[in-house]
Every structure is written in C-alpha cells, then in structure tokens.
C-alpha cells in the first residue's frame, strides 16, 4: 500500500489523540497538525505542527499547501471547518477528507435541519418545533403545550461551541432563555433559529460510528460528563471526562437497536437525500424507557470521548486503515476490532473554567505513569521548552483496564502525577455506572428489580371489559383467577374431540414496533391459532394470550389485547385468560413478544382432513387473504430494507385509496404490511355447519406457501396442480418480488400470494361449495385440482417471473 501523509486540522486533545493513533500505523509517513499544540509538538520526527497557512476562510490556502506537500488524507477535528466547507476545498485539489461535505455537515451545523431530517426519516427523537425572533409568543405557548419549563430544552440551531443548550427550571428562566437566544443573540448567528424540544428522561449515550456513505461501523458507546462539578452540578462545559463502554449502552439488544433504529436509517436517509455521509457520525442519544432517541448529531469525533474510545482499538485494526476505507468507500471490507475492557478519559482544566481563567501556567508532567496516555487540549511550549496552559481544558488523561474500576484507578493515578496551579478535575467520572453497581448491595424490592405489579393490575382492570365482550356459551367466570374455565357440556355435543393450537406472529411484530401500531397484532395472534383449528373442522371455543416485555406499558399492552378481543369476536371464541410477564433485562426498551393458545371442539365423525376420500381430480378452492398475513416477515423486512422505502411512506404501487388489481391501496407501506391476518371461521362455518358438507380438507397457507402447506392435508400418492392465472395476485406481492429479486418458485413456497385458505372438495361439489362461500361474502377461486403426482406443480408460473 502507498504511504500516507496526513493533515489533521485542530489544536485540542481530540486532535492530539487522532495524530497519535494515526502514527501507530506503519503506513503513515508523516502527520501534520494545523495548528497543533504542545502535545503534538512532542510526537517525534514523523509529526509536525503547522502554524501557517491557517485552516480558515475558504480553505484554499491550506488546501494548496496540502497539494504542494503531497498530503493524501485530511482529517478535520472540530466541526466548524466541516460546516464551512473544508471538504469541498480539499476535494477540488484531489485530496480525500475524512469528514462530510458542507451539505451533509448541516446535520451538526443546524439543529433545525437535523430535527427535520429525523422527522422526515422517522428516526426516534424528542417532539420539537423551530422558532425565529418574530415568534417569541408562539414559542412560549409551545413551551406550555409541552408541559412548561421543566419539560423542555432550548437549543440554538447553529454552532455555539457546545454552549447553546439551556435546560430551564422555571418559566421565568425559559422566557429569559428564549430572549437570550432569539432576541439578544447571545450566541450570535447560531441563535437565528431556536429549537424547542421535549426534555427526555433516561441515560445519555454518545455513539461514534465510522461511515463511507453506505456501511456503518460503530465504536463502543461512551458517556460524557458535561457539568463542571461532581454529581453533575455547576455550569456546562465542553466535557470533563468520559468512559466506555457503558452498562446501559451494552444492555441486551441495545447496540442492535441503536444500529437498526438510528445509525442505519441516518446513513440511508442522508444518501437518499443526496448528501451521503462520509466520516465520523457522532450521535448523542437518550436511552429512554421506549428505546434510544436522538438528542443531536455531530459530524466529527467527540471530545473527550475520542481520547477514551480510541484506546479500545485493537490489532489488526488501525485508525488509519478505517479512515482510508471510509474515504475510499470500502468500509465493508474492514473489520473494526475492539479490545475487551474499559477506557476512561479525565479532563484537567484551568481554575475558573468554564468562566474566566488564567493561561501561561507552568505544567509539571515529570512523573506520569507509563500505563496512561496524556493528550494535550490547551497547552503550548515556550521557547525555552516549558509546557504551559493555553486554554480552559488543558489535558485529557486516558487509561484502559480489564474492569471499569481498574481503568479509573490508572487514569486517576495519571491525574495525580500532574501538577499545575489552579487545576480542576472531577473526581467522580463514571459515577453513574459505579452507582448502579453499588446499588446491588442495597435492599431490593420487586419494583426495584423492574417489575411493576400496580401496572399489571391496572392492565387487568382495563382488559376485563374486552374479555367480557367475547363471552359465548360455555364461559364460566371472568379474568383475574388462576385459570380460565370452560363448560364443554354446555355445547351439547355428542362425541367431541378437543383440538388445540398455539402460535405467535413472528417478526411481523418487529414491523409493528418500528411502525408504532399495536392494535391489530392481537388479531394476527388469534388468527394464527384459530385458523389452524378450523382446518381440522373444529369450532374455536376459547383463547388465552401471553404478553412478555421488560417494562410494562399499559397503553401498548391494552392495545394488543384489544386486538386479541377483536380477533376472538371474529372467531366466535372467548378470551378466558392470559399471562402478562414483565421481565426486566429480557427485552430492550418498548420491545415485547406475544403468543396465543386456542382450543376448539369437533365431533369425532366430522374431523378433517378426510384423506381416504380424496382422489385425483378433486378441486382446490382458494379464499382470499388480506395481505401477507403473519408469515414470511423475515424476508419481507429484508426486502423493505433493501428497497429503501420507509414504513411511513406511501405504498409504492398506488396512490392511497386507489384500487389496484381489485385491492384498495392503504395509506402507507407500514399499514399494508400490518393488515391483520384474515380469520376464516365465519366464512367456513357456512360450509362446515352442515353434516353432509363436501369439504375433504382445508389448508391454512402460512409459512411455506402453497408448496409446503397443501401437501400437509393430502394422503401419500396425491399432489396438487395450481393454475396461477385463476386469480389476480395483490400488488403488494408483486412489489416484494420485484424489490427483492425473488424467484417465482420462492414466492410460491414462502407467501400466500393472495390466497390464505385452500379447500379440497370433490369435482362434483365444487360449484355448490363456491355458491355457499359466495353467500358468506367470499370471492372463492377455483385454483387447481389434485393429481396422482405427489408435490405441488404450477401452471403459468412464468406469469410471476420478474
């Protein structure tokens, strides 16, 4: 590989860390730091501080210097050069920049732009509105709408050096903040617009992720300490220390949720918007009870997060290799290796910071231990070689350890070895993580463990009327007991057999969670079980549900159960019980899972299928599905992700409400995918209620499509032949096939393709059976017949060819 000559722009601890880690690669011939600091001046003969030309204005001077000096990679440290267009200046002279274009950098340059981007691409964030100086009254009214001062955050839209955020505690403070930011312009042009957003509760997390515009590779999540004083008190600063990884950031499933719900949609959204992101995406998150929500985007390495997290890079990964892979758009070819353990950075600041402070104070670093790294944030060297302070944040001391406690011990040993007059540092870095660990020795309760019995009781009371609405002959008692009771004798059956079925809804649940719609999942749950009963000729009698989560949200759970009740009414069965399991740590945020259990009864003489009566030439009658139903969603989700179409976007195959191939188009793709599974009980009752009905078998078309499900009801020696031209496939299936490049045979063995239930009847009874189904409101399709060749064959399969 060719040698690399890198130019780092900036003068802080972050830039010192970047330069040092770049130099750890043998590929790097030389690193220049413009302007650099007292620390970068000591990195050896392969590193040089560059006082002139300056990285300012239109960047043409420093870009030309870089070209003349054969620079092959530019790494801007702070956000200002990126927002002002440094990437364009270097690209014009043929030098790649590890950082986004000016347009993409607006994700940090304008909080209003970033919030609108999140809303447009459905990336979870706080509710917000943006205001200008002539909208002060409307701004104050919106603050009250969100719940008053303590429920909101004020943010200057533009760059304010990390200081343009106000968390008011009173309405008076909120008004003063609005006046300062919008009217008095205490942050200058950064206050041309003001973002007012809801204040989120939870644990903050900083995630730094490399991207080449397509692929994302995230480093372990960090937690910063913004306040100057212990216990997170005092004024806000640029950051007084950080540690990684964090307990909340590594909770089961959290890293995957951050990747799938925030990082990937952000990179994909920027690419779709025409502003692909290359560089370091630094996302500030709040881990709420409902999952990760974005507080802000930054378009560069964080400080002091960088000084900590880069310590965890492990061989063979080097920072240089990853950066070059990003600018060369091949990040998918590079693995980001992270060493086990923890890393900590502690900021040593000048006395008086973040207010007024002295500079030029001599620093003694003669006794620093060898197992720490000291990064210079605000230092310079005098002509006589003396190291002195030159800023508010002076040094960042970093260390690693196999445990968080060990990393802290090393880092604080490094801090205590350094001396300068008036130095300030926090002695409680990582106190949140340590506090959580210490709390395990306290007396615990079930509530402290995360189980809310009161919420469970509230849910039971809310769903009792729902269960009552499903009661039928045979029901005994109500919800709340240890078990449900059903009186089989009340049905007056002669020789009944009980038939049971259990199922879930698969990864369709992930679509419901991502789309935020939960009131139809319960219908799916009932349908998947009762449809399996009816294919055996059984009348569904009762149903029980199981709802599991980490933190019970009564509104979500009751929405799910309301769907269960609706499904039971459609199936004419009773909801007689269930279980709600709150299991902290088993799920992440607002995730949950569901399962259902149904019991039905059939007279012994009426049980299906009647395999001994089947013969070649018997007809296959199909009943329409409502959509994908509840199978195949692992493939569906992969297709949707590949297509780039948001669940909240209009359906790609037709305008909302338009009729395409006889099917009305839903408003959004999410609604189309969440259309509840059809329950065929009432439709089939019109056929099966007669003791002399001609139905020989029923096949519920679930996972496996026609190819796998129809043979389940046939005897050995018989197969099925299906004519795919006998019905118009709903446009959703054609879209899935086209976007996923799915072969026609794979469609037939995965999805229902518009037919969710198939009846087997003698040829002589086909017309009468279809008439009975039409009387029940169905539009039956005579779709094929049984053959003497086992398996399933298809006519006109080529009509599904892409």
pLDDT at 264: 96
298 torsion bin: left (phi>0), alpha (psi -120 to 50), beta (else): beta
In Å, the largest CA–CA distance within the chain is 108
Smallest CA-to-CA distance from 670 within 652, 653, 646, 654 is with 646
In terms of pLDDT, which residue wins out, 516 or 440? 516
Could you report the per-residue pLDDT of 281-305, keeping only the tens digit for each? 999 999 988 889 999 999 999 999 9
Rounded Cα distance, 178 and 166, in Å: 9
The pair of three-digit structure tokens given for residue 549, joined into one six-digit string: 């989560």
Please list the residues that pair with 760 across neighbouring strands.
Answer: 620, 697
DSSP string, 319-346: HHHHHHHHHTT-GGG----B-SSEEEEE
Lowest mean pLDDT among 51-55, 162-166, 256-260, 623-627: 162-166
Angle between helices 453-468 and 554-571 (to 10 degrees): 20
Rounded Cα distance, 33 and 21, in Å: 13
Rounded Cα distance, 798 and 412, in Å: 71
**Does the structure show a pLDDT above 70 at 448?**
no
Backbone angles phi, psi at 600, to 5 degrees: -135, 175
Under DSSP, the state recorded for 424 is B
pLDDT at 442: 52
Quickly state the pLDDT bin for 591 (edges 50, 70, 90).
confident
Angle between helices 13-23 and 319-327 (to 10 degrees): 100
Please report, for residues 178, 238, 653, the alpha-carbon distance to residue 196 in angstroms, rounded to integers and kept in the order given: 9, 21, 37
Q: Residues 6 or more apart from 413 whose CB is under 8 A from it?
A: 369, 372, 399
pLDDT at 304: 95
Rounded Cα distance, 694 and 46, in Å: 88
Could you report the per-residue pLDDT of 378-431, keeping only the tens digit for each? 999 998 989 999 999 999 999 999 999 999 999 999 999 999 999 999 999 999
CB 89 within 8 A of CB 96: no
pLDDT at 793: 97
Domains parsed from the chain with CATH numbers: 4-102 (3.40.50.20), 106-333 (3.30.470.20), 342-438 (3.90.600.10), 453-603 (3.30.1330.10), 611-800 (3.90.650.10)
**CB 440: neighbour CB atoms within 10 A?**
7
Quickly state the pLDDT bin for 446 (edges 50, 70, 90).
low
Quickly state the pLDDT bin for 2 (edges 50, 70, 90).
confident
Instruction: Give the residue-averaged pLDDT of 96-115.
Output: 94
Q: What's this model's pTM, rounded to 2 decimal places?
A: 0.60
Rounded Cα distance, 304 and 398, in Å: 10
Quickly state the pLDDT bin for 663 (edges 50, 70, 90).
confident
pLDDT at 792: 97
**Does the structure show a pLDDT above 90 at 319?**
yes
**Does the structure show a pLDDT above 80 at 690?**
no
Please list the residues that pair with 153 across neighbouring strands.
Answer: 197
- Say which residue the tokens 């990126």 belong to: 82
Question: Helix H segments across 402-520?
Answer: 404-416, 431-438, 453-468, 508-515
Under DSSP, the state recorded for 167 is -
Quickly state the pLDDT bin for 578 (edges 50, 70, 90).
confident
The secondary structure of 434-453, three-state, reads: HHHHHHHHCCCCCCCCCCCH
pLDDT at 749: 95
**Does the structure show a pLDDT above 90 at 796?**
yes
The pair of three-digit structure tokens given for residue 120, joined into one six-digit string: 């447009």
Instruction: Give the residue-averaged pLDDT of 628-646.
Output: 92
Sign, CA dihedral 541-546-552-557, equals negative
pLDDT at 147: 87
CB 306 within 8 A of CB 17: yes
Quickly state the pLDDT bin for 72 (edges 50, 70, 90).
very high
**Mean predicted lDDT score pLDDT of the chain:** 91
Quickly state the pLDDT bin for 339 (edges 50, 70, 90).
very high
């Amino acid at each position: 590989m060719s040698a690399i000559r890198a130019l780092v722009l900036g003068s802080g601890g972050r830039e010192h860390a970047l330069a040092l880690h770049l130099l750890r690669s043998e590929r790097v011939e030389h690193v220049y730091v413009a302007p650099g600091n007292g620390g970068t001046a000591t990195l050896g003969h392969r590193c040089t501080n560059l006082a002139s030309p300056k990285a300012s204005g239109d960047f043409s001077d420093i870009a030309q210097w870089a070209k003349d000096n054969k620079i092959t990679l530019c790494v801007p440290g702070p956000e200002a050069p990126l927002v002002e267009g440094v990437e364009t200046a270097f690209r014009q002279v043929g030098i790649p920049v590890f950082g986004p274009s000016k347009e993409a950098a607006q994700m940090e340059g304008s909080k209003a732009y970033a919030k609108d981007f999140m809303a447009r691409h459905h990336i979870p964030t706080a509710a917000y509105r943006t205001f200008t100086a002539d909208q002060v009254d409307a701004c104050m009214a919106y603050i009250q709408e969100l719940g008053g001062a303590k429920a909101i955050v004020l943010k200057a839209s533009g760059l304010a050096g990390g200081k343009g955020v106000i968390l008011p505690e009173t309405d008076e403070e909120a008004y003063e903040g609005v006046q300062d930011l919008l009217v008095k312009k205490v942050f200058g042009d950064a206050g041309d617009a003001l973002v007012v957003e809801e204040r989120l509760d939870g644990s903050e997390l900083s995630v730094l992720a490399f991207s080449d515009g397509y692929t994302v590779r995230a480093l372990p999540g960090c937690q910063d300490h913004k306040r100057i004083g212990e216990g997170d008190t005092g004024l806000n600063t640029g950051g007084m220390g950080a540690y990684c990884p964090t307990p909340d950031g590594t909770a089961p499933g959290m890293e995957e949720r951050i990747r799938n719900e925030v990082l990937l949609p952000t990179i994909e959204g920027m690419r779709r918007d025409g502003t692909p992101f290359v560089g370091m995406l630094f996302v500030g998150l709040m881990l709420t009870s409902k999952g990760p929500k974005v507080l802000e985007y930054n378009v560069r390495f964080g400080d002091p997060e960088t000084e900590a997290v880069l310590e965890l890079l492990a061989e063979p990964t080097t920072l240089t290799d990853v950066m070059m892979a990003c600018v060369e758009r091949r990040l998918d070819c590079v693995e980001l290796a992270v060493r086990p353990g923890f890393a900590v950075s502690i900021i040593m600041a000048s006395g008086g910071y973040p207010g007024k402070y002295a500079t030029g104070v001599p620093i003694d670093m003669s006794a620093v231990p060898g197992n720490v790294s000291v990064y210079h944030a605000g230092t310079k060297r005098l002509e006589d070689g003396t190291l002195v302070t030159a800023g508010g944040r002076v040094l960042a001391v970093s260390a690693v350890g196999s445990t968080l406690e060990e990393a802290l011990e090393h880092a604080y040993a490094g801090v205590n070895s350094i001396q300068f007059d008036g130095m300030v540092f926090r002695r409680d870095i990582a106190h949140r993580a340590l506090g959580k660990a210490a709390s395990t020795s306290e007396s615990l309760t079930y509530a402290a463990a995360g189980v809310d019995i009161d919420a469970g009781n509230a849910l039971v009371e809310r769903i009792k009327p729902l269960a009552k609405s499903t009661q039928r002959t045979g029901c005994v008692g109500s919800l709340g007991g240890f078990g449900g009771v059903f009186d089989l004798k009340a049905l007056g059956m002669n020789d009944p057999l009980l038939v049971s079925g259990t199922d879930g809804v698969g990864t369709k649940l992930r679509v419901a969670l991502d789309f935020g719609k939960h009131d139809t999942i319960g219908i799916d749950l009932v349908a998947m079980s009762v449809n399996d009963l009816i294919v055996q000729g059984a009348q569904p009698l009762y149903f029980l549900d199981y709802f599991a989560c980490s933190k019970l949200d009564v509104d979500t759970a009751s929405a799910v159960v309301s769907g269960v009740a609706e499904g039971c009414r459609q199936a004419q069965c009773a909801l007689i019980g269930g279980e709600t399991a709150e299991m902290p740590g088993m799920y992440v945020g607002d995730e949950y899972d569901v399962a259902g259990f149904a019991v039905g009864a059939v007279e012994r003489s009426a049980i299906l299928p009647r395999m001994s009566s089947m013969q070649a030439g018997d007809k296959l009658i199909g009943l329409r599905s409502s959509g994908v139903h509840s199978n195949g969603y692992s493939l569906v989700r992969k297709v949707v992700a590949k297509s780039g179409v948001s669940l909240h976007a209009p359906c790609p195959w037709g305008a909302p409400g338009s009729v395409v191939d006889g099917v009305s188009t839903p408003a959004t793709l999410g609604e189309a995918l969440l259309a509840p599974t059809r329950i065929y009980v009432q439709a089939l009752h019109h056929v099966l209620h007669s003791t002399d009905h001609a139905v020989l078998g029923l096949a519920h078309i679930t996972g496996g499509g026609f190819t796998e499900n129809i043979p389940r009801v046939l005897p050995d020696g018989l197969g099925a032949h299906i004519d795919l031209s006998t019905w118009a496939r709903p446009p959703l299936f054609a879209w899935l096939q086209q976007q996923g490049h799915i072969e026609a045979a794979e469609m037939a063995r995965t999805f229902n393709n518009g037919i969710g239930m198939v009846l087997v009847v003698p040829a002589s009874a086909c017309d009468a059976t279809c008439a009975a189904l039409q009387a029940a409101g169905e539009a039956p399709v005579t779709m094929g017949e049984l053959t003497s060749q086992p398996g399933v064959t298809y006519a006109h399969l080529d009509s599904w060819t892409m």
